[in-house]
Structure 1
Amino acid sequence: MTDFQKILQDSMIWAEGIAALISVIYYNRNNKERYWRYFSVYLIIMFLSEAIGKWGDLIMDYNKQNFYNYFVIPLEFLFFYWLYAVKSLGKPKLFYAMSLVYLLSFVSSEFFFTTKKIILSYNYTVGCLILMVLVVMEYYKQINSSEILNFSRNKMFYINLGVTLFYIGTLPFWTFFNLIRQYRELHDIYFSYFLLSGIIMYLLFSISFIWGKQSSS
């Protein structure tokens, strides 16, 4: 990891912390949609999880790969499936169907793919492809909404943009990680993008809470 990537990695963790802090400050102000408190809880859990991933081995012995593969990453996908399908699109059955497909991917992964990886490429690919469907549906909803001119006050606009840049933008990197890692320059460029897009995503999450507060005042 280069010095620049180390700076980006540390900055990404603190960007998560800033997003979590801002969400706690803003979510309850003139906000009639109380389910955003769960987004705040999610951001807090993600920040604590990344802190454990960064410094946890200094105070306890744990399997970092299993921690990310079977807790952090599944929680990320399942939360966004819920936020998009249930709360934004109003399709709870879609949430259950997509969640089931994603969870079943772990079964096939155990039989056909190696589990000794920092990130399970197969499960991550399936999770991202499902999330991509929801992202496209959300864009379609926003474009066809009567509030399209007020998109800058729409929380989901910022969330959707952040998810697009980070999860969808880095899908090829993790899907073809074993191939990309053989080309050092390409790997470094894409890994830097992964970290930078993560920072931008959490900053967009922060903005979503700030604008949400302003639009309802």
Structure 2
Amino acid sequence: MAQEGMFWMLGLSSVISVLYYNRIKNQYWRYFVYYLVFIFLAEAIGKWGTSIVDLNKIGFYNYIVIPIEFIFFYWLYAAKSLNKPKLFIGLSLLYVISFIPSELFFTSARKVMYSLNYTLGCLMLMILVVMEYYKQINSSNILDFDKNRMFYINLGVTLFYIGTLPFWTFFELLKSYREIYNIYYATFLVLGVVMYLLFSISFIWGRQSS
């Protein structure tokens, strides 16, 4: 039930972003619309694609979907919000390079998520999240935080990616402790719903002009 809720909340967030597209089509925020639509389509392929084609879901998510998620957020945070394009390039390269030791030394540990890449990706994203909070706190518009689109995005990313990091990092270990695993998995799904809800709110209440 919660898994369906996360999927359809992503779908709703995608629809809302498309409805608000005309307001932001001349801003870099239009790429956030493309991102949400892409992720929804990717999740739909992951959900129903195996009944149509022979899809390697682990490879599909670990080599396509998740890297695009991380690199997009690196771009949104570092290159656009923080205006540090070199930081975006550096973090993206470091993330891509992290696949090399994963390919060489952790092939036997691959089950659902490549934990080395995901953990490093989240840790670098965490740095950007903290930098964004620092920027928002020190902004002259701090009292109008509810109109700041990045406030909602940053909160959603904090809850989902940072909040569920222990679950994916220790995924294989947690599977041996079903009660703890079920609690973490349920939390992962609920936080996913909350994140996409916050993404939707960012389009409805966010008023950034850039």
- Asked if TM exceeds 0.5, the reply is yes
Quote the offset at 1:33 in angstroms.
5.9
The equivalent residue for 2:183 is 189
Superposition deviation, residue 212 in structure 1 = 2.1
The residue aligned with 1:56 is 49
Partner of 2:170: 176
2:116 and 2:25 map into 1 onto residues whose CA distance is 39
Question: Which residue number corresponds to residue 143 of structure 1?
Answer: 137
Q: 2:107 matched to 1:107?
A: no
Match of 1:70 among 63, 66, 90: 63
Q: Could you tell me how far apart the structure 1 residues matched to 2:27 and 2:62 are?
A: 30
Pick the aligned partner of 1:163 from 143, 157, 162: 157
Aligned-residue CA RMSD (Å): 1.3
TM-score by length of 1: 0.93
Q: CA deviation at 1:32?
A: 7.9
- Offset at residue 155 of structure 1 (A): 0.4
> 1:182: how far off?
1.1
The share of aligned pairs that are identical, in percent, is: 66
Change (3 A) 1:66 1:32: closer
After TM superposition, the structure 1 = structure 2 runs for residues 127-142 of structure 1, keeping only pairs within 5 Å, are: 127-142=121-136
The amino acid that maps onto 1:146 is: S
CA contact (8 A) 1:19 1:202 kept: yes
Alignment partners' CA distance in 2, 1:116 and 1:81: 25
TM-score with structure 2 setting the length: 0.96
- Partner of 1:121 in structure 2? 115
User: Which residue type is aligned with residue 149 of structure 1?
Assistant: L
Q: Which residue of 2 aligns with 1:80?
A: 73
Structure 2: tracts of 5 or more residues without a match = none
Q: Is the 8 A contact 2:20 2:203 kept in 1?
A: yes
Identify the residue that residue 24 of structure 1 maps to in structure 2. Answer: 18
* Number of the residue aligned with 1:40: 33
Cα separation, 2, equivalents of 1:139 and 1:112: 36
The whole-number CA distance in structure 2 between the counterparts of 1:52 and 1:195 is 18
- Asked if the contact 1:27/1:209 (under 8 Å) is kept, the reply is no
Asked if the contact 2:146/2:206 (under 8 Å) is kept, the reply is no
Aligned to 2:195: 201
What is the CA–CA distance in structure 1 between the aligned matches of 2:128 and 2:110, rounded to whole Å? 29
Q: Show the counterpart of 1:3.
A: none
